[in-house]
């Protein structure tokens, strides 16, 4: 989604700002811009709709230079994605703002500001911020004081960076609902919406908290909290992720991230497995006491993370004997829900900043006793410094490392691992999971990274199979039991990056509708581990073949499904049925990747999608 970079230094900072924007490209955006204060004290702006590369090209012609500046990648929410709506937005020719988030009272503010004579040139909510700030600046004379006053009138979510030609010694920042981090240098300081943008200039960071306003100068940083009191925020050294911004030997981040899965699954397991049991304290010091009280689980998430939750429901009910509901956050947050007593509220999120998931958590926490409170909240998340983690009672961090490809891969499989650990922990503490079965699954989990490596070794087989899809417009994905959400995730991956329409069905539902669509132009992808549903699945496959449908089946090598006319089998390593959803996800990720490559799409940044959806 939108990205912010800012810098105040003694050297020319234009290249640093553009490099920062490039590092944020993975979040998804549709236009980009930069504003730099030149050495004669004039503020210059360059904006382009489209990619940062186009902004860079413009910069080669214009050669903006300066020591103070801000830059932005925009993902349109108010107003079309075009140059006029791209940030930075100006008030006059000396004040510039970039903004992530949404100002909810922008219409009322626009009306007031128009009445005061301000002229609006964009359709964005952001432009009200810069004019409001100008208004306050005229009143107070000092930019920092003006920003503090303006912030009080803004409702909604924002991360802001501000520069003014009148006060060229400072870069200002304000955070309310959109993350911001200050990068600390030697005689120079930086700002960004994600530390990844600044890894080329520093490894020391200071994270702003909700309501913070910061005045960043070359040699000092001053921060005021939500109550206007001066505060010191801890500075931290960041080592993780240096390698993540680099594709290495891989053609795309997505392929690199698919192949990282054995390693990151291993990392997610580290320190969390005892000899025969899950270490319950991995969920936090209070986890054992809390888990003993859990009688229900409510899972809320979006996108791929929601699919992880759907798999977990099968595990929680079957292995831990706990009723579980799973819902997408955008629905859950606006629904009147009846809370069962002793329900653990679980959010799953790669980023920890997804607006709907965060709102669902906040609503859940705000419930009163009369409405029925949740027992506690748990976040399964990949970003330790995210809002979701900070606001949850318990956390289990997945150790996937930064995920750059918009289509989630390694975050999903590590979420599944985290959810299986949760299932085992709940079953263990509540005494509903037989110790022998837990011990067996712990052994299986230890072997999982090796199994995942074996599945990835089928890379070239899957690449060959992808040719069946290159010219197709529609596909069906089938699975039964916990493989049904795996089929859903496979279909989501294919549509996200290859733009082929893909739908997933529980195989048993085939004859209740989708069979009508099946013909030679509609390949049907099926995941078929060797479990008690296999025989039923085989009959479903016959139903497809009888209608001339082409079958691609990822099947356990002992499943007894044979290659034949119109049936292509990919033999999978044998795995315990409980862990099969994790293993069978990998070939589906590879399949969508290779189909997208064949179709020549922008694999890492598919059209219209964003990595982290921080607005509603």
What residues make contact with ligand G6P under the rule CB under 6 A? 302-305, 349-351, 354, 357, 406-408, 609, 611-613
To ligand G6P, the closest distance from the beta carbon of 207 in angstroms equals: 18
Whichever of 189 and 415 has its CB closer to ligand G6P, that residue is 415
To ligand G6P, the closest distance from the beta carbon of 348 in angstroms equals: 7
- Give the up-direction half-sphere exposure of residue 192: CA atoms within 13 A in the CB hemisphere: 27
Query: CB count, 10 Å around CB of 581?
Result: 31
The DSSP code sequence of 250-283 is -SSHHHHHHHTHHHHHHHHHTTTB-SSSB-GGGG
Beta strands at 31-37 and 43-49: parallel, antiparallel or unpaired = antiparallel
To ligand G6P, the closest distance from the beta carbon of 406 in angstroms equals: 5
- Single out the residue of 32, 37, 47 nearest to residue 8, CA to CA: 37
Whichever of 28 and 427 has its CB closer to ligand G6P, that residue is 28
Whichever of 59 and 354 has its CB closer to ligand G6P, that residue is 354
Instruction: Give 571's strand partners.
Output: 555
Task: Judge whether 148 counts as a catalytic residue.
Answer: no
To ligand G6P, the closest distance from the beta carbon of 594 in angstroms equals: 19
Q: Give me the phi and psi of 237, to 5 degrees please.
A: -95, 135
Whichever of 90 and 306 has its CB closer to ligand G6P, that residue is 306
Catalytic member of 22, 256, 410, 611: 611
Whichever of 302 and 590 has its CB closer to ligand G6P, that residue is 302
To ligand G6P, the closest distance from the beta carbon of 420 in angstroms equals: 18
Catalytic member of 2, 302, 324, 381: 2
- Give the up-direction half-sphere exposure of residue 281: CA atoms within 13 A in the CB hemisphere: 3
The secondary structure of residue 443, as a DSSP letter, is H
SS3 475: strand
Label residues 180-205 b or e (16+ Cβ within 10 Å = b): bbbbbbeebbbbbbbbbbbbbbbebb
- Give the residue carrying structure tokens 């479903």: 540
Whichever of 343 and 382 has its CB closer to ligand G6P, that residue is 382
Label residues 241-272 b or e (16+ Cβ within 10 Å = b): eeebbebeeeebbbbbbbbbbbbbbbbbbeeb
- Single out the residue of 78, 146, 149, 158 nearest to residue 110, CA to CA: 78
Query: CB count, 10 Å around CB of 174?
Result: 26
To ligand G6P, the closest distance from the beta carbon of 305 in angstroms equals: 4
SS3 407: coil
The CA-atom distances, in angstroms, between 115 and each of 49, 108, 111, 125, 609 are 31, 11, 6, 17, 37
To ligand G6P, the closest distance from the beta carbon of 385 in angstroms equals: 14
The CA-atom distances, in angstroms, between 541 and each of 210, 382, 506, 557 are 53, 37, 12, 17
Whichever of 356 and 393 has its CB closer to ligand G6P, that residue is 356
Task: Judge whether 302 counts as a catalytic residue.
Answer: no
Q: Would you say 30 and 81 are in contact if contact means Cβ atoms under 8 Å apart?
A: yes
Q: Would you say 120 and 110 are in contact if contact means Cβ atoms under 8 Å apart?
A: yes
To ligand G6P, the closest distance from the beta carbon of 403 in angstroms equals: 8
Whichever of 294 and 381 has its CB closer to ligand G6P, that residue is 381
Q: Looking at beta carbons, which residue is closest to ligand G6P?
A: 303
To ligand G6P, the closest distance from the beta carbon of 601 in angstroms equals: 15
Angular region, 474: left φ>0, alpha ψ -120 to 50, beta rest: beta
Whichever of 397 and 570 has its CB closer to ligand G6P, that residue is 397
Which are the catalytic amino acids? 2, 611
């Amino acid at each position: 989604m939108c990205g912010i970079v800012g810098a105040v230094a003694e050297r020319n900072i234009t290249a640093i700002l553009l490099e920062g924007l490039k590092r944020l490209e993975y979040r998804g955006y549709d236009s980009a811009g930069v504003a730099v204060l030149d050495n004669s004290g004039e503020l210059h702006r360059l904006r382009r709709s489209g990619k940062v590369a186009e902004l860079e090209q413009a910069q080669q012609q214009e050669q903006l230079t300066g020591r103070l500046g801000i830059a932005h990648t925009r993902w349109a929410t108010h107003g079309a994605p075009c140059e006029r709506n791209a940030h930075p937005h100006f008030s006059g020719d000396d004040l510039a703002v970039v903004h992530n988030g949404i100002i909810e009272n922008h219409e009322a503010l626009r009306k007031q500001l128009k009445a005061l004579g301000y002229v609006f040139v964009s359709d964005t909510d952001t432009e009200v911020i810069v004019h409001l700030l100008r208004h306050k600046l005229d009143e107070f004379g000092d930019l920092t004081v003006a920003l503090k006053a303006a912030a009080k009138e803004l409702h909604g979510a924002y991360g802001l960076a501000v520069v003014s030609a009148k006060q060229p010694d400072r870069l200002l920042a304000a955070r309310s609902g959109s993350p911001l981090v200050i990068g600390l240098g030697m005689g120079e300081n930086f700002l960004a919406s994600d530390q990844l943008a600044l890894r080329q200039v520093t490894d020391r960071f200071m994270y702003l908290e909700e309501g913070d306003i910061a005045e960043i100068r070359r040699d000092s940083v001053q921060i005021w909290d939500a109550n206007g009191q001066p505060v010191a925020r801890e500075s931290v050294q960041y080592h993780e992720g240096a390698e993540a911004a680099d594709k290495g030997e891989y053609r795309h981040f997505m392929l690199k991230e698919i192949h990282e899965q054995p390693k990151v699954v291993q990392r997610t397991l580290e320190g969390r497995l005892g000899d025969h049991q899950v270490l319950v304290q991995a969920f936090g010091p209070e986890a054992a006491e809390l888990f003993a009280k859990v009688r229900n689980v409510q899972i809320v998430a979006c996108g791929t993370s929601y699919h992880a939750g759907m798999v977990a429901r099968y595990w929680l009910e079957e292995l831990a004997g706990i009723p579980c509901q799973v819902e997408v956050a955008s629905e859950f947050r606006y629904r009147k829900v009846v809370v069962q007593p002793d329900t653990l509220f679980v959010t799953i999120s790669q980023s920890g900043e997804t607006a709907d998931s965060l709102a669902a958590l906040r609503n859940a926490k705000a419930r009163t006793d009369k409405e029925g409170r949740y027992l506690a909240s748990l976040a399964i998340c990949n970003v330790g410094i995210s809002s979701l983690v900070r606001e949850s009672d318990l956390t289990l961090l997945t150790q996937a490392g930064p995920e750059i490809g918009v289509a989630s891969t390694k975050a999903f499989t590590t979420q599944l691992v985290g959810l299986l650990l949760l299932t085992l922990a709940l079953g263990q503490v509540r005494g509903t999971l037989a110790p022998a079965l837990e011990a067996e699954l712990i052994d299986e989990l230890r072997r999982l990274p090796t199994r995942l490596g074996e599945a990835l070794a089928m890379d070239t087989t899957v690449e060959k199979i992808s040719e069946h899809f290159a010219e197709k417009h529609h596909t069906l994905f089938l699975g039964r039991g916990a493989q049904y959400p795996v089929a859903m995730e496979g279909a989501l991956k294919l549509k996200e990056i290859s733009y082929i329409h893909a739908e997933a069905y529980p195989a048993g539902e085939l004859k209740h509708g989708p069979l009508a669509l099946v013909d030679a132009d509609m390949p049907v992808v099926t995941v078929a581990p060797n479990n008690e549903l296999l025989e039923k699945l085989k009959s479903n496959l016959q139903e497809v073949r009888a209608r001339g449908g082409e079958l691609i089946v990822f099947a356990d090598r002992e499943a007894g499904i044979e290659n034949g006319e119109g049936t292509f089998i990919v033999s999978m390593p044998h795995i315990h049925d409980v862990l099969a959803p994790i293993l069978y996800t990998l070939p589906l990720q590879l399949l969508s990747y290779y189909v997208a490559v064949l179709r020549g799409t922008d694999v890492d940044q598919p059209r219209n999608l964003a990595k982290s959806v921080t607005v509603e």
